[in-house]
A and B are shown apart, each in its own frame.
Chain A
Amino acid sequence: MSLFAITANPEDRHPIFDQIEKLFRNKTGVAGLIIITIFVLCALLAPVISPHNPVENSLYDQLKPPIWSPGGAMKNILGTDDLGRDILSRIIYGARVSLMVGVVSVGIGLFFGSLLGAIAGYYKGWLDSIIMRFMDILLAFPHILLAIVIVAYLGPGLRNAMMAIGIITIPRFARIVRASVMEEFEKDYVTAARAVGARNRRILFNAILPNCLAPIIVQASLGFGSAILDAAGLSFLGLGAQPPTPEWGAMIAMGRSMILRAWWVMTLPGIAILLGVLGFNLLGDGLRDALDPRLRD
């Protein structure tokens, strides 16, 4: 039997159920969950639900307005861009790109940030000083600027943009995990684990880290939103996704030149970004209230 296994009373509920229940009672959290579910469904089912091919040009359908505007038609509910591509389909496929950006960037930040933060918080001393000094240096750059500069050196493209956003996310996770590990370190179960001779690595990764999950989950949700926002910003500047990839920021950049002729090309992808980011921020807030009320503002 594992050292940390607990013989549970079958009548006791796992605390996770209480937390899920709390999350579902939280209106903000539920609103966020609903938005994110729609967002994820769009991303996963894009080929099934999108009415047209997002990169297919149609010279006969250039700059068609949305259905509610004069001249709009059922064929292109949200209108088309200057190459006749269907905006709705591009927005639906854009959810895929944004979801991927979120997963990859937050993944990079979460993995390296948690690892560095956990090591710094557990071993303390010079290792802590070196790691956290380095994190301070990364935090000394306004984050979007750092992302832009990293992409400027690595070269534009979605892959490099995701990497840049991942890198700028590392310090946030590192700080949070370090603080949590330090707090857990003082608790009795850690002392007990050490007393029975468990090795450091085992204590840190099997005992302490699972107890630091609450703030990590909250940060991941909020980080997801800001990764989508940053990626859209980079693509808007031409440093992220390249044409014809249906990316929301890049769509806004393209619509910019025809802002007066066809307002929908630029406006509608922006609403998609806003909703996507809002969903993750709402969920982050809800999760914080449910999992870790200490972190509230």
Chain B
Amino acid sequence: MLSFIIRRAFSIIPTLLGVSIIIFLMLAITPGDPAELLLGERATEETLEAMREHLGLNEPLYVQYGMFLKRLIKFDLGETIWTRQKVWDEIKQRYPATIELSIAAMFLSCFFGIILGIISATKQYSWFDYMSMIASLIGVSIPVFWLGLVLMLVFSLYLGWFPMSGRMGIGIDLEIITNFYVLDAILTRNWPALKDVLWHLTLPAFALSTIPLAIIARMTRSSMLEVLRQDYIKTAKAKGLGQTKIVLKHALRNGLIPVITVIGLQFGIMLGAAILTETVFAWPGVGKWIFDGVVKRDYMVIQGGTLVVAACFVIVNLIVDVLYAVINPRISVK
């Protein structure tokens, strides 16, 4: 198993290199002087020349890529054009917000998705099954940004139940330790802040959870249906076990194996796809930051942000693969 994990971990290196090449080439092939693109129109000739020297723009492309890679290894992603902050520091500060939102959304999708999937599978072809499968088809077809706005309209503006945007209300005092506000509030035992943070988290998490929820529900249903047809389930029935016990103790363990892969993949996708939800809810995560970078044509932000999000996506997929092998010994080390 250990050798499988090591082999799988090494296998992401070419992918990561490929990702870095694509991101490097995107800037290289964009029309215009990369130094000017990176420094913005306000840059003076001296700073432009210094940037050209720093990036090696007078060198051949492969040397430039080598220099780019060298800087990457040192986590030197440069400075943003607009705020002149270190890109890496900005990402470190913002990624927790995105991860927190994604975890909350994933929690909602797993909880409701798995329950819906199990009930649909045990009551196949019932009205509940039809309804939940129609709902899940609507779930994968819904534009997340639109749903976010509708939720905001109904629950924030009309009903006033939830705040419209942001991570925390003004006037809430919270000592920031990890930048994961929920965790920080728990660590400092600041319950009013925890309540406020969760209150702010609910609507964006719900909007972001719809697509994964629908996919998880469909996957759980089909996987459970397959497991419920197996002989060992018939044996359990023949032994006289109750339906609930059969489903929860015998079928669920095997039925959830393929679902775990989907959950992992969806989590990886969320880290990047949160860009729309974050923009709608003014959630100060890395997605909104990248989008703001796109609007301001801050190529340092686009480059650094995309690289880190893609790297995280690859690593999450690696973890999913390893987890899958751990849970399902049949496919392990092959």
Complex Cα distance, B155 from A90, in Å, reads 28
Q: Which residue of A lies closest to B302 (CB)?
A: A152
CB distance from A213 to the nearest CB of B (A): 24
**Chain B residues, CB < 8 A from A233:** 143-145, 276
Q: Which residue of B lies closest to A256 (CB)?
A: B149
Q: How many residues of B contact A (CB 8 A)?
A: 53
Q: Which residue of B lies closest to A249 (CB)?
A: B143
Produce 1/0 per residue, B145-159, CB < 8 A to A. 111011011000100
- Taking CB atoms and an 8 Å cut-off, the chain B residues in 13-46 that contact chain A are 14-16, 18-19, 21-22, 26-27, 29-30
CB distance from B319 to the nearest CB of A (A): 14
Interface of A is mostly: helix
Complex Cα distance, B71 from A254, in Å, reads 41
Produce 1/0 per residue, B180-216, CB < 8 A to A. 0000000000000000000000000000000000000
Known contacts: A140-B18, A140-B19, A142-B272. The answer to whether A149 contacts B302 by CB under 8 A is yes
Are B314 and A140 touching (Cβ within 8 A)? yes
Produce 1/0 per residue, B51-78, CB < 8 A to A. 0000000000000000000000000000
A133 at the binding interface (Cβ < 8 Å): yes
CB distance from A267 to the nearest CB of B (A): 6
Spot the interface stretch: B107-115, B236-244, B287-295, B325-333.
Answer: B287-295
Complex Cα distance, B21 from A281, in Å, reads 34
* Partner pick for A297 among B142, B222, B275, CB 8 A cutoff: B222
Spot the interface stretch: A8-16, A171-179, A258-266.
Answer: A258-266
CB distance from B206 to the nearest CB of A (A): 16
**Chain A residues, CB < 8 A from B272:** 141-145
8 contacts between A and B (CB under 8 A): A142-B309, A142-B313, A143-B272, A145-B287, A233-B144, A267-B150, A274-B138, A297-B221
Q: 4 smallest A-B Cβ distances: which pairs?
A: A142-B272, A137-B18, A270-B146, A297-B222
What is the interface of chain B, defined by CB distance below 8 A to chain A? 14-16, 18-19, 21-22, 26-27, 29-30, 137-138, 140-147, 149-150, 152-153, 157, 218-219, 221-223, 268-269, 271-273, 275-276, 279, 287, 290-291, 293-295, 297, 302, 306, 309-310, 313-314, 317
